[in-house]
């Protein structure tokens, strides 16, 4: 009898676990970005809806050129997705039926019935969208006319979590994340909403037409004060790098870096070099070696300059990172500009001659086992566990853990350092990964 009760109890636990797992899978099916069309009061609006989950709590955000609006009371029962949005003092309850990768629903509002339809954006479509939007990323010089005055500015466009974002970058301190607004691109039209605190409290809506071959745009800023003509031109960083005044000799060479993420500071290395009349940079840290996507350099005076490096570092973000530094002689300090001060970097020049390995496309020498341990040994117990290892290392973990004690110590970390530095000792030859078992 006792055995039967135990079996029944065990079966009940398994059924509950299966139900919880199935429910989690249902929720996973709706997480991510969706394109949506809302019809209300005879007008159609296209927007993006992003469903996310943190700590078991669902969240939903509606994004359009007018800005982001978080929803409230978000729930999902495996078929119906419910949420509410605020429209002035009114609260509108929306329920949509999810069928595979589409949804459809209706709602009542103070201005009449609302029809809403949506389709989930696949990973392949996200990749295509990022590829199509990438050419727009960078700085744009802008020109507008207001009350008889010509106003010049700079507008910075960036991909953040797969979304095109932008903000005014005319100030001496540049732009920070809190100033970013979502941009919507439909074919050759680009739209966004901006704040104009010194012009009108209502803000303004920007609608421009892109001339992609010439990388310019032309359109209007619509505000309560009337239409303001706006034109823009993409900043050609290649010309900036090659300008005679901006001779990059002072920045070229090898640099020791100190990278601070959160409360943890780790060493790294960087080599800046010229190739094909352009500046390039190679970044080396314990988690990998990364080549720059582009480098911009502008002199400010005899010894000071600004250096901006665009690089893709997937261990930090799936989107391109932009590091902006103020250089003073043989040292610099700065940050990754879209992480709100979460990644700070200081640098000290150690050589004016770039490492030949970096200019040939390989990692610069100088990565040490101690650097590897500092970066990867998260709990500082003297060993890199399999859980602490990045994905690239996990493939070869069994090889590097020579004594098979389940942890990589500083001696074994020399294999990783040698591989990253392009050395052959214990690394399977220059530029080659350790041989798999």
Tens of pLDDT, residues 302-357:
677 888 898 888 777 777 888 988 888 899 998 888 776 788 999 999 988 886 55
d(CA 182, CA 222): 17
Tell me what pLDDT residue 179 has. Answer: 59
- Taking the alpha carbons at both ends of the chain, their separation in whole angstroms is 51
Round the average pLDDT of the chain to a whole number and report it.
76
Strand 278-285, strand 288-299: pairing: antiparallel
Alpha helices (H) in 87-214, listed in sequence order: 123-133
pLDDT tens for 91-132 read: 889 999 999 889 999 888 777 788 999 999 887 887 888 888
Tell me what pLDDT residue 24 has. Answer: 43
Residue 5, both tokens: 């009760």
pLDDT tens for 225-253 read: 778 888 998 876 655 444 444 577 888 99
Cα-based distances in Å from 226 to 129, 203, 221, 229, 298: 33, 12, 8, 10, 37
Tell me what pLDDT residue 243 has. Answer: 44
d(CA 262, CA 269): 19
Q: What is the DSSP letter of 346?
A: E
Tell me what pLDDT residue 423 has. Answer: 45
Tell me what pLDDT residue 324 has. Answer: 87
Within 8 A by CB and 6+ apart from 46, the residues are: 35, 36, 37, 64, 184, 186
Question: Residues, the chain, total?
Answer: 437
Nearest in space to 234 (alpha carbons), one of 138, 344, 361, 342: 138
135 neighbors 129 (Cβ within 8 angstroms): no
Sign of CA dihedral 180, 203, 130, 56: positive
Q: Rounded to the nearest 5 degrees, what angle is found at the Cα of 398, between the Cα atoms of 358 and 357? A: 10
Backbone angles phi, psi at 203, to 5 degrees: 75, -170
Tell me what pLDDT residue 66 has. Answer: 66
Quick check: helix, strand or coil at residue 376?
A: helix
Query: Which helix (H) or strand (E) is 351 found in, with range?
Result: strand 343-351
Quick check: helix, strand or coil at residue 126?
A: helix
Tell me what pLDDT residue 197 has. Answer: 53
Alpha helices (H) in 302-396, listed in sequence order: 356-359, 369-376, 391-394
Q: Which domains does the chain have, with CATH numbers?
A: 28-121 (2.40.128.120), 126-235 (2.40.128.120), 239-359 (2.40.128.120), 369-420 (1.10.238.10)
Cα-based distances in Å from 74 to 27, 52, 57: 12, 10, 8
Under-50 pLDDT residues of the chain: 2-25, 171-178, 198, 240-245, 361-365, 423-433
């Amino acid at each position: 009898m006792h055995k039967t009760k135990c079996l029944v109890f065990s079966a009940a636990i398994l059924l509950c676990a299966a139900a919880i797992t199935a429910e989690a899978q249902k929720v996973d099916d709706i997480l991510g970005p969706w394109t949506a069309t809302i019809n209300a009061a005879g007008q159609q609006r296209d927007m993006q809806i992003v469903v996310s989950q943190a700590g078991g709590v669902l969240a939903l955000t509606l994004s359009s050129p007018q800005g982001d609006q978080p929803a409230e009371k978000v729930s999902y029962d495996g078929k119906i997705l419910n949420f509410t949005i605020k429209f002035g003092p009114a609260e509108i309850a929306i329920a949509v039926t999810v069928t595979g990768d589409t949804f459809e629903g209706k709602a009542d509002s103070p201005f009449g019935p609302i029809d809403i339809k949506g389709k989930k954006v696949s990973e392949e479509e996200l990749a295509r969208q990022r590829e199509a939007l990438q050419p727009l990323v960078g700085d744009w010089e802008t020109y507008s006319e207001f009350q008889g005055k010509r106003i010049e500015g700079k507008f910075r466009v960036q991909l953040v979590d797969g979304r095109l974002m932008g903000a005014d970058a005319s100030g001496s301190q540049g732009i920070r994340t809190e100033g970013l607004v979502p941009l919507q691109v439909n074919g050759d039209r680009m739209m966004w909403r901006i704040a104009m605190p010194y012009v009108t409290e209502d803000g303004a809506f920007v609608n421009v037409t892109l001339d992609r071959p010439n990388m310019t745009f032309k359109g209007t800023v619509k505000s309560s004060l009337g239409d303001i003509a706006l034109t823009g031109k993409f900043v050609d960083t290649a010309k900036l790098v090659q300008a005679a005044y901006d001779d990059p000799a002072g920045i070229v060479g090898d640099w020791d870096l100190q990278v601070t993420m959160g409360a943890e500071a780790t060493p790294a290395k960087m080599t800046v070099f010229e190739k094909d009349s352009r500046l390039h940079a190679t970044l080396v840290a314990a988690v990998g070696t990364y080549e720059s996507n582009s480098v911009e350099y502008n002199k400010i005076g005899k010894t000071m300059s600004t250096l901006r490096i665009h690089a893709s570092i997937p261990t930090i973000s799936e989107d391109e990172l932009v590091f902006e530094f103020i250089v003073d002689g043989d040292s610099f300090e700065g940050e990754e500009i879209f992480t709100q001060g979460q990644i700070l970097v200081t640098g000290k020049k150690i050589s004016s001659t770039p490492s030949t390995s970096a200019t040939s496309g390989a990692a610069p020498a100088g990565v040490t086992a101690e650097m590897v341990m500092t970066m990867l040994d998260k709990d500082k117990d003297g060993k890199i566990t399999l859980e602490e290892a990045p994905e690239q290392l996990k493939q070869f973990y069994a090889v590097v853990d020579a004594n098979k004690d389940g942890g990589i110590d500083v001696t074994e970390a020399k294999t990783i350092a040698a591989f990253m530095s392009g050395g052959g000792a214990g690394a399977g030859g220059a530029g080659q990964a350790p041989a798999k078992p």
